[in-house]
Amino acid sequence: MSTAAAIGWGGWTAAALPELAGLAERARALGPIVAAVLGLAGLALLLAGARRRRPLGAAGGAAIGAVAALAARGWISAALGLGVPAAATLAAAAGGVAGLLFPAAFAFAAGALPGALLGWHVPLGGSAAAGAAAGAVALGALAAWLAGAVAALVSSGLGAVACAAALLAALGPRPAAGELASHPVALAGLAAVLWVAGAAFQLGRGPAAPRQPAAPAPPAGDGRTEVVRL
């Protein structure tokens, strides 16, 4: 990776950590009911999310849309005049609907987004857009080929984030939640541990077994009783 790309990623990381700390503080105010809902949803995604492709497509599509809007927030603000919250909300809604309707395309999108972000920092022929397009196509095709593994990784990642948010919401105003929220690296480390554990569990289980077709019903008789003579 070039020096400019390394600086770009370093700047992105430095900007992302305060944002993560702000999100953690917001999660603390969600309350116990939301914490319970997030915890149950997170556990379901961690343990079996990859086996429910349509709900995963909706949740993952919403996450991909929101991240894409955040990554392109400068262009969206200049071209469309939308603020970050509005753009992220609209993109998440569009991504969720698309993932729900077309779950088979979710794996490609899950690879295309990081491919585009990586390719943007590795220009082709001096063009960052060409690098982003090439990266999106390359990683998107690879993700589509490895759709089962991608589903396990994405569902576990979403589940890990949901469980971390549930923990913060459950702790609420307690000092432990404040300490965790003020150290975004530790919070990201906790989510990473859950992510790896969930992905390993789901990959170890393998894909869901296909449903066996129901056995055909025996032919109905004509209602007459046969008499067997000895």
CA distance 57 to 54: 5
Q: Which residue has the higher pLDDT, 180 or 135?
A: 135
Query: What residues contact 86, with CB distance under 8 A and at least 6 apart?
Result: none
Q: Which residue has the higher pLDDT, 82 or 216?
A: 82
Q: How confident is the model at residue 138 (pLDDT cuts 50, 70, 90)?
A: very high
**Distance from chain centroid for Cα 107:** 10
100 C-beta neighbours (distance < 10 Å), count: 17
pLDDT digits 0-9 by tens, 183-220: 778 888 888 999 899 889 888 876 655 555 555 655 55
Helix (H, G, I), strand (E, B) or coil at 139: helix
Q: How many CA atoms lie within 13 A of 36 on its CB side?
A: 2
pLDDT at 143 over 70: yes
pLDDT digits 0-9 by tens, 71-81: 787 777 877 77
CA-wise closest residue to 155 among 56, 31, 71, 16: 56
Q: How confident is the model at residue 137 (pLDDT cuts 50, 70, 90)?
A: very high
* Residue boundaries of the structural domains of the chain: 14-204
| CA dist 39 → 35, 36, 93 (Å) | 6, 5, 22
Q: How confident is the model at residue 123 (pLDDT cuts 50, 70, 90)?
A: confident
Mean pLDDT calculated for residue range 92-120:
87
Q: What is the pLDDT of residue 2?
A: 47
User: Residue 131 is encoded by which pair of tokens?
Assistant: 């690098």
Q: What is the pLDDT of residue 122?
A: 83
Helix (H, G, I), strand (E, B) or coil at 211: coil
Q: What is the pLDDT of residue 186?
A: 82
